[in-house]
Structures are given as C-alpha cells and as structure tokens.
C-alpha cells in the first residue's frame, strides 16, 4: 500500500552527481509526481548540476549541497536546518555516504528510503532499503528506488519541459545561423584533448577529419559546434581549420535542449549536450571512453554509442565514427 496517497506532502530526493545523473533521474521524479500530483518535490544537488532542473517538469525547488566536498559541521548543520524547517514526509537518497544517511535520520523525516545490500551500517538510518542493481541502465538503477514506496511502474523515456523563452531563443539562434530552412548537425567536441587529461577528450585532428568528411559528402548540410566555457579555444581553432562551420553557445539547459531538438543528428562526447539530445529524442551518436554505452544510454534506435577499444576516447578513430554516421 502506498503511503500518503491522497495527502498534500513534501518529498525530498538527494541526488549526487553531475547534469547527466540528474537527467537520468527525471523518469523517477516524473513517476513520483504522477503518483502524488499534489506533492512538493525538492532535490538536493550539487551546484554544478542545478542547471538540469531548468527543464524538469516535476521539481518544485533545488537545494544546493556539495556531496563530495570537504563539508564542515556548519555545512551539514545548515542543510539539516533546511530539512527540518520544511518538514518533509518522504526522503529518497541516491547517496550511499554515511553522512547523508545520518543526516536524514537526524532530520526526523518519517519515511527514509535508500539503497542497501544488508551489509552497510548506513542502512540503519533508512526505514526502507532497496537492493542496488548496477548491472543495468543507470536511469533504471535510480528508478528502482521507487520500490520503497511500492510504486511499480515501467521505466519511461526521459521527458523535459523547455521554457517558452528558451524555445524562442533557439528559434532566433537558428535564424541567426541561417538554419531555418532545414536540418543541421550539432557537434559537441568536449574538452580540448591537448589541454586536458580527461579520457572524455577527443583530439582536434579527429574532429577535423570528421568535419571534412561531412563537408565532402554533404556540402549543403550545415554543421554547428556547441561551445561552452570548457571548449571555447578548441571550437575557435576548429572554425579556423574548417571554414564555414557555425558556432552556437547556449547559455542554459533549456536553450541547449531546444537547439538539439531541431538537429538532424547530434554527435557528442559524454556531456550535457549528449543528455540534452537524448531528452529531445534527437538522433544521437555518443563517443564514450571507459563507460559502457548500455549504462548511460537508453535502448533506443535514436541513440548509438561508440565505446573506445582501449578506454581512451582518443583511440576512437574518425573512420569508426564516420562508418556509423554513413552506415558503412
């Protein structure tokens, strides 16, 4: 039996991780909202991940907390004060840290649900424990937490709600770039591999070969690079190496989703544009290093992942990418 079914209540979710983790949690939040339509649902997230909730249709408020930071007693105390003041009825936690479990116990929230396998002392702080199964799509891992509320629904596709002003921005941006007459390909090159040790980086020379092949095979197909704070120098250099390519720099998640929604294809490393494209149900080709595609990508004919044979994204050859693009 589901508790509180007809009551106006407050639900809290603790969701560590980046923007991608939040987007993958959206189906769980949407099912919570569908089950308890009058509930206020808040999330505790890191500041770098808050941007994702601009396109959530189920969240009332975001509370910022650095799960992996060196938090002082004052930081924990401030968060505890917020939780007590808001008098939540239910808390669900994706965090397996001892501190967050203890925090929820101290908060006095009556129903506290978390993951556990029976061996962790953290589980004593929860009123219901759900077995953690990481051998599946990450969105399905998160969705399992709803078993703690006896919610038995199949995992749905990621859905978003884009603010009207972001849709209007995207329309104006496509007009500025001359894209209003047809489709276009969006490319997110990620960080500059020459300046980053991240395995999510992809070399500029590989991007150059991919872009040149597109221009040779489809000379009238507009190509657009997504620029952000982390790749501005790389994007600027690619424009010099590949004249005629366009640049777009969405300022928030709503604008990013709106731009990906109008694309014929999104070619991206693991990052916010990849998740935005999946949410927009745009055809997406994802370049992945160590991550198994089935863990972060949905089972969909619109989404394809290319995993590096070595775990290093630089070892995905341009020809491997182009074979997938052109069906070779």
pLDDT tens digits, 74-83: 999 999 999 9
Residue 177 sits in the same domain as residue 128: no
Is residue 201 within 8 A of residue 190, CB to CB? The reply is yes
Q: Once rounded to an integer, what is the mean pLDDT over residues 268-292?
A: 95
Residue 305: partners with Cβ closer than 8 Å, 6 or more residues away: 285, 286, 288, 293, 294, 296, 297
Interatomic CA distance for residues 215 and 244, integer angstroms: 9
Higher-confidence residue of 165 and 2: namely: 165
User: Looking at the predicted structure, is the pLDDT value of residue 137 above 50?
Assistant: yes
Residue 173 sits in the same domain as residue 322: yes
Residue 225 sits in the same domain as residue 80: no
Q: How far is CA 131 from the centre of its chain?
A: 23
Higher-confidence residue of 7 and 210: namely: 210
Domain assignment present for 158? no
Is residue 12 within 8 A of residue 44, CB to CB? The reply is yes
Q: What is the pLDDT of residue 110?
A: 97
Binning pLDDT at 50, 70 and 90, where does residue 119 land?
Answer: low
**Number of domains into which the chain is organized:** 2
Residue 247 sits in the same domain as residue 316: yes
Q: Residue 214, exposed/middle/buried by CB under 10 A (0-12, 13-18, 19+)?
A: buried
* pTM of this prediction exceeds 0.85: yes
Q: E strands along the chain, which residues?
A: 10-14, 40-45, 61-64, 90-93, 111-115, 128-130, 185-188, 223-226, 246-248, 265-269, 284-288, 303-307
CATH number at residue 108: 3.40.50.2000
Rg from Cα positions in the chain: 21
Domain assignment present for 1? no
Residue 273 sits in the same domain as residue 225: yes
Residue 116 sits in the same domain as residue 22: yes
Domain assignment present for 155? no
Is residue 27 within 8 A of residue 143, CB to CB? The reply is yes
Domain assignment present for 90? yes
Domain assignment present for 16? yes
Residue 231 sits in the same domain as residue 257: yes
Q: What is the pLDDT of residue 201?
A: 75
Which of 89, 123, 149 delimits the end of a domain?
A: 149
User: Looking at the predicted structure, is the pLDDT value of residue 3 above 60?
Assistant: no
Q: What is the pLDDT of residue 122?
A: 67
Residue 303 sits in the same domain as residue 168: yes
Higher-confidence residue of 95 and 198: namely: 95
Is residue 76 within 8 A of residue 98, CB to CB? The reply is no
Residue 131 sits in the same domain as residue 55: yes
Give the domain extent around 85.
Answer: 10-149
Interatomic CA distance for residues 76 and 103, integer angstroms: 8
Higher-confidence residue of 110 and 68: namely: 110
Domain assignment present for 72? yes
Is residue 16 within 8 A of residue 94, CB to CB? The reply is yes
Q: What is the pLDDT of residue 96?
A: 81
Residue 203 sits in the same domain as residue 73: no
Which of 87, 117, 149 delimits the end of a domain?
A: 149
Q: What is the pLDDT of residue 1?
A: 43
Q: Once rounded to an integer, what is the mean pLDDT over residues 135-162?
A: 96
Q: Sign of dihedral through CA atoms 47, 79, 16, 158?
A: negative
Binning pLDDT at 50, 70 and 90, where does residue 8 land?
Answer: confident
Instruction: Give percent of the chain above pLDDT 70.
Output: 93
Which of 149, 182, 203 delimits the end of a domain?
A: 149
Domain assignment present for 219? yes
Q: What is the pLDDT of residue 195?
A: 53
Residue 144 sits in the same domain as residue 174: no
Mean pLDDT of the chain: 92
Interatomic CA distance for residues 71 and 178, integer angstroms: 48
Residue 135 sits in the same domain as residue 180: no
Domain assignment present for 154? no
């Amino acid at each position: 039996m589901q508790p509180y079914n007809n009551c106006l209540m407050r639900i809290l979710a603790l969701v560590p991780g980046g923007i991608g983790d939040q987007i993958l949690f959206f189906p769980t939040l949407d099912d919570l909202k569908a089950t308890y339509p009058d509930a206020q649902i808040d999330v505790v997230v890191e500041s770098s991940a808050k941007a994702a909730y601009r396109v959530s249709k189920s969240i009332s408020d975001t509370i910022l907390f650095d799960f992996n930071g060196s938090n002082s007693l004052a930081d924990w105390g401030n968060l505890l004060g917020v939780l007590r003041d808001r008098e939540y009825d239910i808390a669900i936690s994706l965090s397996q840290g001892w501190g967050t479990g203890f925090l929820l116990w101290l908060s006095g929230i009556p129903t506290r649900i978390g993951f556990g396998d029976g061996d962790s002392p953290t589980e004593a702080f929860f009123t219901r424990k759900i077995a953690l199964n990481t051998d599946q799509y990450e969105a399905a891992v998160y969705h399992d937490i709803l078993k703690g509320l006896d919610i038995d629904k199949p995992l749905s596709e990621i859905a978003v709600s884009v603010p009207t002003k972001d849709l209007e921005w995207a329309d104006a941006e496509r007009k500025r770039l001359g894209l209003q007459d047809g489709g276009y390909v969006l490319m997110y090159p990620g960080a500059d591999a020459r300046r980053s040790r991240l395995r999510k980086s992809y070399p500029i020379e590989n991007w150059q070969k991919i872009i040149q092949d597109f221009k040779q095979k489809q000379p009238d197909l507009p190509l657009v690079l997504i620029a952000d704070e982390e790749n501005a120098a790389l994007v600027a250099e690619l424009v010099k190496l590949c004249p005629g390519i366009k640049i777009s720099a969405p300022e928030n998640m709503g604008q990013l989703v709106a731009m990906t929604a109008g694309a014929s294809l999104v070619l991206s490393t693991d990052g916010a544009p990849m998740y935005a494209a999946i949410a927009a149900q745009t055809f997406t080709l994802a370049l992945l290093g160590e991550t198994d595609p089935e863990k972060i990508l949905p089972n969909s004919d619109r989404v394809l992942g290319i995993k590096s044979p070595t775990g290093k994204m630089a070892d995905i050859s341009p020809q491997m990418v182009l074979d997938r693009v052109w069906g070779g």
